[in-house]
Chain A
Amino acid sequence: MELTGELTGADRRLVTAMGPGLPLCRRPFREIGARAGLSEKNVITALKRMLEAGIISRLGVVVRHHELGYKANAMVVWDIADEDVDQIGERFKTFDFITLCYRRKRRPPQWPYNLFSMIHGRERQAVLAQVDELARACGLEDAPREILFSGRRFKQRGAVYNSGGAL
């Protein structure tokens, strides 16, 4: 995928050189630098800057949560009045069992829901109890909602970016 954002040419080469991950060796940033035509020091500086700017949200291990026992992966969707959704979204993020929370575009009439919250739990019953707790605490007992547990996972990988050429 060709990147079009406000990255320097060196940043783009760096993103491409990292590909899906860092090399597992003692001096990974030197290795990345060799691929990108950058010094180890410049790689480290650029990565610090990209982390501070939030271009990289984090750097580390990315877990396959299902294999860690998080088998009850629920997308809990709510239909919240547009004027209330910011306040509810802010409230949701104070619950530590919520792993992601977004406002998304509704697709009426098929899909009226605009607030998406993810709960990754180990057991389905525990997740259902958490959804009840959330609804009670936020006064949303009567708000339309649905809980979509995940079934099979067909693909899980991060996005892979490169700076060269169109697809």
Chain B
Amino acid sequence: MSAGLDDIDKAIINGLQGGFPLSEEPFAEAGMRLGLDEDDLIARIQKMLDDGALTRFGPMYHAEKLGGGLSLAAMKVPEADFDAVAEKVNAHPEVAHNYARDHAFNMWFVLATGAPGRIEQVIAAIEEETGLKVYNMPKIEEFYIGLSFGA
């Protein structure tokens, strides 16, 4: 558990991972549900952003419906080169996140691009810059996206 999150912060996280009100004073409305004053709610969200408990506050887009491209890609990176390769990969703004995993395929990143065809271009650029093969694993079917977390 992250240090510094009290029960009210947890209630905000559990109550606001979706369903932010679409009204003129949404923080006041959301605050009402949580028993919080709007300024207090705003200040707490700001603090959790500053402390790194939250990455963002706002919309999560469905990349394909937005007209963009989205894919998961993996690389087998020699351990000694790992940080240098990560730096080159992450320098691309299309790389939305990147995780090391304990496997021969040890680097896994998500590519999100404005145009679907751009995925292949970014992959080609990464292969060129790193000299390593990038294994693109595009989605064929989505069964479930329920990514939300209880605090």
Contact = CB atoms under 8 A, between A and B. Distances in A.
Contacts, number: 263
Contacts of B148: 99
Contact of A18 (B48, B58, B90): B58
A143 B25 CA distance: 52
Contact of A152 (B56, B100, B113): B100
Contact of B22 (A5, A24, A48, A150): A48
A21 B109 CA distance: 22
Nearest to B87: A154
A59 B18 contact: yes
A37 interface: no
Contacts of B70: 159
A56 B61 contact: yes
A87 to B, nearest CB: 10
Contacts of A158: 55-56, 60-61, 96, 112
B146 A99 contact: yes
A154 B86 contact: yes
A7 interface: yes
Interface residues of B, number: 81
Contact of A154 (B63, B65, B90): B90
Given A1-B68, A102-B139, A161 B58 contact: no
Interface in A128-150: 146, 148-150
A132 to B, nearest CB: 19
A54 B99 contact: no
Given A92-B143, A104-B140, A63 B62 contact: no
Given A55-B65, A69-B2, A100 B147 contact: yes
Contact of A63 (B22, B74, B113, B149): B149
Contact of A67 (B52, B90, B95, B139): B52
Contacts of B1: 68-69
Contact of A148 (B2, B103, B144): B103
Contact of B13 (A68, A100, A104): A68
Given A26-B25, A161-B66, A155 B57 contact: no
25 contacts: A1-B118, A3-B67, A21-B58, A22-B20, A22-B57, A25-B42, A26-B38, A29-B22, A55-B66, A57-B61, A60-B57, A64-B52, A64-B53, A64-B54, A90-B143, A99-B147, A101-B144, A103-B140, A110-B105, A110-B135, A151-B102, A152-B100, A154-B86, A154-B89, A158-B60
